[in-house]
Amino acid sequence: MSVEQKINSLRDELREHNYNYYVLDNPTISDYDFDIKLKTLQSLEEAHPEFYDANSPTLRVGGEVTKNFNTVVHEYRMYSLDNSYSKDDLLDWEKRIKKMIDGEVNYTCELKYDGASISLTYENGKLLRAVTRGDGTQGDDVTANIKTIKTVPLQLKGDFPKKFDIRGEIVLPFEGFNKMNEERLEVGEEPYRNPRNTASGSLKLQDSAEVAKRPLECLLYNITGANLGFDTQFESLKKARQMGFKVPEASKLVGSIDAVLEFVEYWDVHRHDLPYETDGVVIKVNSLQQQDELGFTSKAPRWAMAYKFKAEQVSTRLNEITYQVGRTGAITPVANLEPVELAGTTVKRASLHNADQIEKLDIRVGDEVYVEKGGEIIPKIIAVDLSKRPESSLPTTYISHCPECQTELIRQEGDAKHYCPNYNGCNPQIIGRIQHYISRKAMDIEGLGGETVALLVNEGLISNYSDLYTLTKEEVLPLERMAEKSAENLINGIAASKQIPFERVLFAIGIRFVGETVAKKLAKHYKSSDAIAQASIEDLVSVDEIGGRIAESVVEFFSSEENKAIVEKLKTYGLQLELSAEKLANQTDKLKGLSIVVSGVFETVSRTELKKLIEDNGGKVSSSISSKTNFLVAGAKMGPSKRTKAETLGVLIISESDFLSKLN
Ligand code: AMP
Ligand code: ZN
């Protein structure tokens, strides 16, 4: 086989595996083997740039940076949809249709996905470009970003029209959205509000490698073009599936408005089981010829209609507004409500987000407010029932001082939130920071939990994490629920944390925006906390993956005398504030990019050592098996459920000795 043939056959093979994995959700190869094939293709492509293909599966990881998105005129306009809210609305619509066309009318019912609309143009089976809806006439060219979304085929399968546009929605499934938010909270960033805005924001990120990291999906629902080779909407969906697109299965062909309503009622209940957000149903005249006859109004097709699900809503009394102080000092106002049933749960609280939100809706204590559960996880107040406002009601004045430490709050330019600036003297901030310090992913201190930390701070025994290291058994014994044994465990656990490697200490000390990954990057690059403390912003941003915001936050952290003193103390107590010499000598890239799970009991090395080995060689240790796992290192007494999971997902299982000999 020539090199070119080899490259092409690898590309075909990898495309097929991507399709099986992402579109069909049915992988037929282990991730490990997939990665090996991908790496082979990568090195062949590097050695033979003459066979470059902009649609190669190797380009899925992104890396292209777009500063300004080009404006592109849509060949076929992207219309909006008319909305209906009742059976009567739908019957009226049917009447209008029947006036314009003769014969029987059938409808397809589809779910209305709540994401960011996108138009993909394909020519000769290849993705030519991807454009946002924009104003409907023209949008932004976001091809580089869209290419990183694995459900978007770069090369079509089977037979396909020569050139066409296909429209769909970029969505962010709940699971991925929640995971992104967990990671943001961990580094002290505000969580994203809802999946839709996050999905549409993702399309306009400048660095496509960032987009590649987000678990976005592309769901398709409409093909537009000439000589398409099908006559109905329902057939077109089937055809799109055959070409390799992800088209949700929840679409139905029906013959009457009554049947449409059945579909709506069914999905109004069952949509809660779907992995992503939907906000209604879209009903389309099935025959393309009839669609043609009906045409468009200035705004929307006459042959389609959206039917919005009712957002679940109730009204209740706002009893009190309280203010929470987070670990980063951010203030969140909380509405304390008269408990009320909403979408199957009892709601007692709703987030008010920030001062602007309260002012905009003019929310006051004593008001009867409407609460809605939409795409957001926490219910929100959407309006006030002014007719029920008590005469004596007064506008809400936002707090000016921290409810915990009475320090005057600040609000920085461009920030929606107020902050308590009393970094080292405000209890929830102190407690939150120490809780983060001892948490599993940080110092993982055995025998010490979050509640005990709060007790220790409130009793005045500690005021920052370095104080943990001078605690004595005698001091902690009088604490609530503390016995001889537990006090001993606590002190031992704290002492043991002195062995925790530098990069985790760096994560644990809680520099804003420095998460686990960033901490590892910084540790690897600078090798000691002293070097990091001396780095300038310019120097920091030159490190791979360190952006301006992180750099500023690092510099700010180390410019505080108090922080410097605390870190200095950690050093005197014997914590690892630099990479160990052994570590420096042992680091390689052998396992770069691989995600590995370890399970069971090991003979020649301890579990911790094994994990360290993996990380020192550039691999990533993850705690649970998923389809993203490259392989599982299995020791003795591994749980049977882990094995079954690995087997069903096709994750390679290797023994301790195999792994160690492979590494050497
Ligand atoms: P609206 O933005 O409320 O005018 O609704 C129109 C938008 O609904 C379109 O631009 C699409 O992005 C979106 N949409 C979601 N699902 C569908 C679907 N199955 N068919 C057509 N449009 C859909
Ligand atoms: Zn405070």
pLDDT tens-digit readout, 40-89: 998 898 889 888 888 888 888 777 777 788 999 999 999 999 989 888 99
- What is the average pLDDT across 171-187? 88
| Residue 310, CA atoms < 13 Å, CB-side half-sphere | 8
Q: What is the pLDDT, as a whole number, of residue 337? A: 96
List of long-range contacts for 352-356, beta carbons under 8 Å, 24+ apart: 352/321, 352/381, 353/380, 353/416, 354/416, 354/417, 354/418, 355/398, 355/411, 355/418, 356/416
Q: How crowded is residue 67: how many other Cβ atoms within 10 Å of its Cβ?
A: 5
| Nearest ligand by distance to the CA of 236 | 1
- List CB contacts of 481: < 8 A, sequence separation 6 or more: none
Residue-level pLDDT at 593: 76
Pocket lining: 282 vs ligand 1, CB cutoff 6 Å: yes
Q: Which of 52-66, 112-126, 232-246, 454-468 has the lowest mean pLDDT?
A: 52-66
- Residue where the block lists tokens 């009742």: 86
C-alpha dihedral (642, 645, 651, 652), degrees to nearest 10: 40
Q: Is the CB of residue 353 less than 8 Å from the CB of residue 333?
A: yes
Ligand 1 atom nearest 300 alpha carbon: 4
Question: Distance, CA 248 to ligand 1 centroid (Å)?
Answer: 14
Q: If you write DSSP's letter for every residue of 386-405 in order, what string do you get?
A: GGG--TT--PPPPPSB-TTT
Q: Counting ligands in written order, which one lies closest to the CA of residue 135?
A: 1
**Whose atoms come closest to the Cα of 408: which ligand?**
2
**C-alpha distance from residue 251 to each of 108, 263, 267, 282, 472 (Å):** 7, 9, 11, 10, 66
Residue 219 Cβ inside 6 Å of ligand 1? The answer reads no
Nearest listed ligand to the Cα of residue 267: 1
Q: How far is the CA of 504 from the centre of ligand 1 (A)?
A: 45
Q: If DSSP codes are grouped into helix, strand and coil, which group holds residue 18? A: helix
Q: Of 112, 150, 583, 620, which is the active-site residue?
A: 112
CA of residue 80 to ligand 1 center, whole Å: 7
Is the distance from the beta carbon of residue 306 to the nearest atom of ligand 1 less than 6 Å? Answer: yes
Per-residue pLDDT, 374: 64
Collapsed DSSP state (helix, strand, coil) of residue 333: strand
Residue 106: per-residue pLDDT: 96
pLDDT of residue 453: 94
Average pLDDT value for residue range 121-144: 94
Is the CB of 217 inside a 6 Å radius of any atom of ligand 1? no
Specify burial of residue 392 (Cβ count, 10 A radius: 0-12, 13-18, 19+): exposed
Q: For 72-217, where are the alpha helices, taking DSSP H only?
A: 87-100, 143-146, 174-186, 195-203, 208-213
pLDDT of residue 377: 63
- Ligand 1 neighbourhood includes 80 CB (under 6 angstroms): yes
pLDDT for the residue numbered 650: 85
In this structure, which residue's CA is closest to atom 12 in ligand 1? 117
Q: Say if residue 375's pLDDT is above 60.
A: no
Q: Inter-axis angle of helices 257-270 and 87-100, to 10 degrees? A: 140
Residue-wise over 473-486: b if at least 16 C-beta within 10 A, else e?
Answer: eeebeeeeeeeeeb
Q: Is 149 left (phi over 0), alpha (psi -120 to 50) or beta?
A: beta
Q: Residue 319 Cα, ligand 2 centroid: separation in angstroms?
A: 24
Query: 């709601």: which residue's tokens?
Result: 347
Mean of pLDDT over the chain: 90
Of the pLDDT bands very low, low, confident and very high (cuts 50, 70, 90), residue 647 is: confident
Question: Edge-to-edge strand order for the sheet containing 83-84?
Answer: 83-84, 304-308, 278-285, 107-113, 251-254
Q: What is the pLDDT of residues 537-546, one digit of tens each?
A: 999 998 877 8
Asked whether 276 lines ligand 1 (CB < 6 A), one says no
pLDDT band at 473 (very low <50, low <70, confident <90, very high): very high
Atom of ligand 1 nearest to the CA of 117: 12
Residue to probe by mutation, ligand 1, list 81, 135, 271, most atoms within 8 Å of CB: 81
Q: Which of 84, 108, 111, 113 most suits a substitution to test ligand 1, by most atoms within 8 Å of the C-beta?
A: 113
Summarised one tens digit per residue, pLDDT across range 238-257 is 999 999 999 999 999 999 99
Closest-approaching ligand to the CA atom of 432: 2
Q: What is the DSSP string of 362-430?
A: T--TT-EEEEEE-SSSS-EEEEE-GGG--TT--PPPPPSB-TTT-PBPB--TT-SS-B---TTT-HHHH
DSSP assignment letter at 544: T
Rounded-to-integer distance, Cα 561 and Cα 567, Å = 10
Residue of 117, 132, 253 with the most ligand 1 atoms within 8 Å of its CB, for mutation? 117
CA 161/CA 321 separation, integer angstroms: 59
Q: How far is the CA of 356 from the centre of ligand 2 (A)?
A: 20
Ligand nearest to the backbone CA of 218: 1
* Cα(335) to centroid(ligand 2), Å: 20
Closest ligand 1 atom to residue 284 Cα is 20
Task: Tell me, yes or no, if 150 is annotated catalytic.
Answer: no
- Residue 93 CA to residue 303 CA, distance in Å, equals 9
Q: How many CB atoms lie within 10 A of CB 596?
A: 23
DSSP H stretches of helix in 19-72: 31-47
Distance from residue 78's CA to the centre of ligand 1 (Å): 10
Using alpha carbons, select from 120, 117, 144, 132 the residue that is nearest to residue 55.
144
Q: 196: Cβ below 6 Å to ligand 1?
A: no
Q: How far apart are CA 220 and CA 168, in angstroms?
A: 4
Residue nearest atom 18 of ligand 1, based on CA coordinates: 112
CA of 280 to the centre of ligand 1 (A): 9
The answer to whether the CB of 187 falls within 8 A of the CB of 234 is no
Q: Which atom of ligand 1 is nearest to the CA of 83?
A: 3
pTM (2 d.p.): 0.62
What is the rounded average pLDDT of the residues 623-631? 84
How far away, in angstroms, is 283 Cα from ligand 1 center?
Answer: 11
Nearest-CA residue for ligand 1 atom 9 is: 80
- Round to whole Å and give the CA distance between 211 and 143: 12
pLDDT category at 152 given cuts 50, 70, 90 is: very high
pLDDT of 641 above 80: no
Verify whether ligand 1 is closer than 6 Å to residue 169 (CB atom): yes
Q: Is 117 in the pocket of ligand 1 (CB under 6 A)?
A: yes
Q: Is 35 exposed, middle or buried (0-12, 13-18, 19+ CB in 10 A)?
A: middle
pLDDT score, position 366:
94
Spatial distance between the Cα atoms of 311 and 268, rounded to a whole number of angstroms:
10
Distance between Cα 419 and ligand 2 center (Å): 8
- In the chain, % helix, strand, coil (3-state, to 5) comes to 40, 20, 40
Q: Which atom of ligand 1 is nearest to the CA of 168?
A: 12
237 lines ligand 1 (CB under 6 A): no
pLDDT of residue 512: 87
Residue minimizing CA distance to atom 23 of ligand 1: 112
Q: Which of 82-96, 327-341, 513-527, 619-633 is predicted least confidently?
A: 619-633
Q: Which amino acid is at 510?
A: G
What is the pLDDT, as a whole number, of residue 303? 96
- 81 CB near ligand 1 (under 6 Å): yes
> In a 3-state reduction of DSSP, which class is residue 349?
strand
Q: Which atom of ligand 1 is nearest to the CA of 112?
A: 16
Residue 312 pLDDT greater than 80, yes or no:
no
